Structure 1
Amino acid sequence: MQIFKVGGAVRDRLLGLPVTDIDWVVVGATADEMLAKGYRPVGADFPVFLHPKTGEEYALARTERKSGRGYGGFTFHASPEVTLEEDLIRRDLTINAIAEDDLQNLTDPYHGQRDLEARILRHVSPAFAEDPLRVLRVARFAARYASLGFTVAPETLELMRQLSESGELQALTAERSWKEISRALMEDQPQVFIQVLRDCGALKVLMPEVDALFGVPQPEAHHPEIDTGLHTLSVLEQSALHEQPLTVRWACLLHDLGKGLTPEEEWPRHIAHEHTGLKLIKAVNERFKAPKDCQELALLVGKYHTHCHRALELKASTLLELLQNFDVYRRPQRFEEFIGACEMDARGRKGLEQRSYPQADYLRGAARAAREVAVQPLLEKGFKGPELGEALKRERLKALKAYKDEASA
């Protein structure tokens, strides 16, 4: 029995990056031998075991063969005869197909070290094209390592293109897709993930609503970058630079989908795109079964982001309606994330990345003014039920008018 460290732990150590998760492969062992040593089995599809003390995953060396559609369409074969090289060749990228023994001696049959030095994401073998999930994985790695200068090898991008055209991407489950998308959006350069998906034709399959934004112009006075797709990439980039949470990054990706529906004869204006985009945002949310908080924020940002940009011009009654729709009294964090997404939208414009965004603090102040209206005096006056709600609304409107007057003084 031989045990090797494999995959990301080896790759990141060689890149000088922090190593978090460690995966191990066991060569020359049977499942019974692993059980006899106290390893606990997990997973029904192939023999993976948890170390009795560390809890880390140890997988028996295995080969795999395509047997159906999608990510799960594989049969696996694990036996003591499977070599380390045979196990490594089934992996996605050469930089993930390097093994290391306990003395840090490397086994690198597919030249992963060479590709690490050349900053190239390259597939290990033609079997890469058998697994559609790898399109998303490679795009995610491109986003993660873009700052180090990594790019996708042309021949790998071509295989990704073939996969995108094959219909295999439709076989991916919503859960598997969301896992990759959500991880990619949290990388340092999530816009690279979207760009790589577009470069290989996967974006128009997975998110045609986002793909449709490229080539759609916006008024140059407000958007010096003009192209709506490029603007979306810039907004995503800003969301990562400002370390926004996943909810905000997802909303940033989807906020302008309505512009993809504007008839060409109306370009570059996009009247009411906030409302026309809601059905598209809802469709993308449902397609990937995004978590509820991501879904809700994406819809709210899509509907109200222009309200935020015009915050200083809004009437007190419109401000109150906005705050009510966000339920800022019970869910202040969601309103804060909305403001964050809108600020990223404002900064995601060519040459305007550093421009101040006073609307953010103005809306925070408005929310504070409305929240500070006390309920107790109204209860003492005898208000209750629906009448209490209306009285509270009147007092909050009064507070917002006073806030507006003070802010404009």
Structure 2
Amino acid sequence: MHAYLVGGAVRDALLGLPVQDRDWVVVGSNPAAMVAAGYVPVGKDFPVFLHPESHEEYALARTERKTAPGYHGFAFHAAPEVTLEQDLARRDLTINAMAQDADSGEIVDPYGGRRDIEGRVLRHVSPAFAEDPVRILRLARFAARFSDFTVAPETVELMRGMVAAGEVDELVAERVWQELSRGLMESRPSRMFEVLRDCGALARLLPEVERLFGVPQPPAHHPEVDTGVHLLMVLDQCARLQTSLAVRYACLCHDLGKGTTPADILPRHIGHEQRSADLARQVSERWRVPNDCRELADLVAREHGNVHRSTDFDATARLRLLERSDAWRKPGRFEQMLWACECDARGRLGLEDRDYPQRERLMQDLAATQAED
């Protein structure tokens, strides 16, 4: 048997990035031989083993075949005769389809991953990419992580065909949230939504977000005008300020109601806060979003306008804002809300670096009232 380091570890090393996880593929072996060599079996769907000393994962080389719609419908075949090239062929992107020989250190790159790293391109390995709709979300997440990479035109067309064929509609909530949440935490989360929008997947997965694009806002407050553009700017402000997943999700949902504003009152958005909260709850239910994220999204949607205006509030009005926000019982969540509001205020064209005194002042109010108790 022969072992090869594969996937993200090879990619990140070539990019000069820290290697977080190391996964291995074993060619020319079988489960009995792996166990005899001291490896511990852990795989349920296909043969995966833990190294007896490093405890890193070693998987037998395998092929896969599509058997049903969605991402569950696959049959796997792992056998000693499966080659490394066959195993790499089933992977999603060329930059993830490279291997490194454990003995010689030689890079095995049958599908042009090095070329695409140098060209900063995200490209599918083969037409088999279309068999797994999760790959659309994964690619969008990689676009958010590697923000200087572009998506190959032929890959965009392939993803559009997958969306048109209804593959995205087969995705289950757990996988969608897993990929969306990871993408939100990348260095430039706006890229994830740009890619999803470009291939048509955003309209299927998050129509509430898709509706924001092309909807105008008052240019005096929003020089970028377009509500969808504003949302993308807000998400990137989150990455800049190193905020939590709950804050980033709240920012994603904070203005959803603007997509349902009656056309005859545009570009104003009277009452959009409650509409945003209602739509945020729908999104949270659909994708089974964790409670901390959905609760913060609801609070930010309802109160972000009041937080912005709080510099004009008297002490009584600010006290009522703290009460509605349950600030004394949940001070950490209250602070997260203020961070989301600051991202919203800074996510505007030309206003990315402006001061946001509301956050500090309201935190001072909270501290003062806590001291009185």
**Structure 2-normalised TM-score?**
0.98
Residue in structure 2 matched with residue 392 of structure 1 by the alignment? none
- Output aligned runs, 1:266-305, within 5 Å: 266-305=265-304
Q: Is the 8 A contact 1:218 1:269 kept in 2?
A: yes
1:97-151 deviation digits (Å, cap 9, x = unpaired): 00101222011111111111111100000000000000000011111011xx211
Structure 1 SS opposite 2:58: strand
**Pairing 1:313–2:312 present:** yes
Shift of 1:31: 0.7
| Cα distance in 2 between the residues matched to 1:355 and 1:84 | 53
* Structure 1 Cα separation of the partners of residues 369 and 288 of structure 2: 34
Task: Indicate the residue corresponding to 1:206 in structure 2.
Answer: 205
Structure 1 residue ranges (4+ consecutive) displaced by more than 4 angstroms after TM superposition: none
Residue 76 of structure 2 aligns to a residue whose secondary structure is strand
User: Counterpart of 1:283 in structure 2: which amino acid?
Assistant: Q
Tell whether the 8 Å contact from 1:311 to 1:362 is kept in structure 2 after alignment: no
Equivalent residue for 2:143?
Answer: 142
Following superposition, the deviation at residue 315 of structure 1 comes to 3.7
1:74 aligns to 2:74 (yes or no): yes
The answer for the alignment partner of 1:100 in structure 2 is 100
Map of 1:20 onto structure 2: 20
Name stretches of at least 5 consecutive residues in structure 2 with no aligned partner: none
Partner of 2:117: 116
Structure having the higher Rg: 1
CA distance in 2, matches of 1:165, 1:207: 16
Counterpart in the other structure of 2:34 = 34
Rounded Cα–Cα distance in structure 1 between residues aligned with 2:33 and 2:324? 60
- Which stretches in structure 1 are left out of the alignment for 5+ residues? 375-409
Equivalent AA in structure 2 for residue 122 of structure 1? R
> How far is 1:266 from its partner?
1.1
**Is the Cα–Cα contact under 8 Å of residues 225 and 350 in structure 1 kept in the other structure?**
yes
Q: Structure 1 residue 10: deviation in Å?
A: 0.2
Matching residue's letter, 2:129:
F
Q: 1:379 matched to which residue of 2?
A: none
Deviation at residue 327 of structure 1 after TM alignment:
2.3
Letter in 2 for 1:364: M
Q: Is structure 2 residue 85 aligned with structure 1 residue 85? A: yes
Q: CA deviation at 1:316?
A: 3.1
Identity %: 59
Q: Distance in 1 between matches of 2:321 and 2:73?
A: 48
In 2, Cα distance between the equivalents of 1:235 and 1:326? 22
Give distance in 1, aligned partners of 2:281 and 2:40.
42
Report the Cα distance in structure 2 between the residues aligned to 1:278 and 1:297, rounded to whole angstroms.
Answer: 10
How far apart are residue 43 of structure 1 and its match?
2.8
Relative to the length of structure 1, the TM-score reads: 0.89
Q: Is the 8 A contact 1:210 1:229 kept in 2?
A: yes
Question: What SS is found at the alignment partner of 2:125?
Answer: coil
Q: Secondary structure at the match of 1:342?
A: helix
Aligned partners of 1:53, 1:320: CA distance in 2, in Å?
Answer: 58
Residue 28 of structure 1 deviates from its aligned partner by 0.4
Question: 1:355-409 deviations in whole A, cap 9, x for unaligned?
Answer: 11111111111111221222xxxxxxxxxxxxxxxxxxxxxxxxxxxxxxxxxxx
